[in-house]
Amino acid sequence: MALRRFRADLHIHTCLSPCGELTMYPRAVVEKARAAGLDIIAVTDHNSAENAAAVGEAAAGTGLTVLPGLELATEEEAHILGLFEAGTALGELLAIVYEKLPDIPSKRSFIDDQVIVDAEDCVTGFNPHCLIGATRLTVYDTVDLIHRHGGMAVASHVDREAFSIISQLGFIPPDLKLDAVEVSPLLSFDEARAAFGPLSPFPLVRFSDAHRPEEIGRASMDFFLAKPTLEEIRKALAGRDGREVRPA
């Protein structure tokens, strides 16, 4: 089967993330992703995925594939990305995550920053949960939860001094069934490979963790796939069936 190169940035926040800029609306995300030469993106808001379908809809007909996802904060305050096949309904998973978030009194100013939008960038609501909090799920529970819903689990920005599995645990547990380990754009891929390759039994990837439109695509990977699906990305990370992944 003929393989094609798909440039992917699989760690992008929207206006739903409390720390994501309000300008991260679906159409802006899609426009910036195309301008940055991306073929596949994943929408990964903190502890939620309620804008992912709207970004997918906004991308219809543009040639951009949008994978739904989220960035879970574990009990240990380590961030782990859950990435799913396009079209996956994540309602059941989100209900579990919301139930495990801190039950703090809702502050209006806080909720105002957790904007749910539709594909036309219209505000349809505000997420009332404490999305910036850590769940009561351990790193093992989190990876298991992602896998049970058919997703891929990627440890976020392991080079960062906070909220990463290495900053919180001191190491990457080799028995944690991660599908990949991400480094931030602060390091080049070669620097990351030198620093984290020996510490990681899992494949390394480097994505943008964009919170602002201009950050989209500042780090990405080139996947050589038959089609732009999570299943194909999974094969590339495992080096199966001739699929490959290289730093962009």
Residues that bind Zn ion (CB under 5 A): 71, 79, 156, 209
Contact 245, 222 (CB under 8 A): yes
Give the Cα separation of 163 and 132 in Å (integer). Answer: 12
Contact 77, 83 (CB under 8 A): no
Nearer to Zn ion, 134 or 225 (CB): 134
Count of alpha carbons within 13 angstroms of residue 4, beta-carbon side: 9
Shortest Å, Cβ 209 to Zn ion: 4
Shortest Å, Cβ 240 to Zn ion: 28
Which residue sits closest to Zn ion, CB atoms considered? 79
Shortest Å, Cβ 88 to Zn ion: 19
Nearer to Zn ion, 79 or 129 (CB): 79
Shortest Å, Cβ 114 to Zn ion: 15
**Shortest CA distance to 222 belongs to which of 211, 232, 212?**
232
Contact 214, 43 (CB under 8 A): no
Shortest Å, Cβ 46 to Zn ion: 7
Read off the tokens for 108: 């209006």
Nearer to Zn ion, 52 or 225 (CB): 52
Read off the tokens for 42: 């994943």
Read off the tokens for 63: 């040639």
Give the Cα separation of 190 and 139 in Å (integer). Answer: 27
* Residues 6 or more apart in contact with residue 34 via CB below 8 angstroms: 62, 63, 64
Nearer to Zn ion, 137 or 225 (CB): 137
Shortest Å, Cβ 41 to Zn ion: 13
Nearer to Zn ion, 71 or 215 (CB): 71
Nearer to Zn ion, 9 or 232 (CB): 9
* Residues 6 or more apart in contact with residue 60 via CB below 8 angstroms: 119
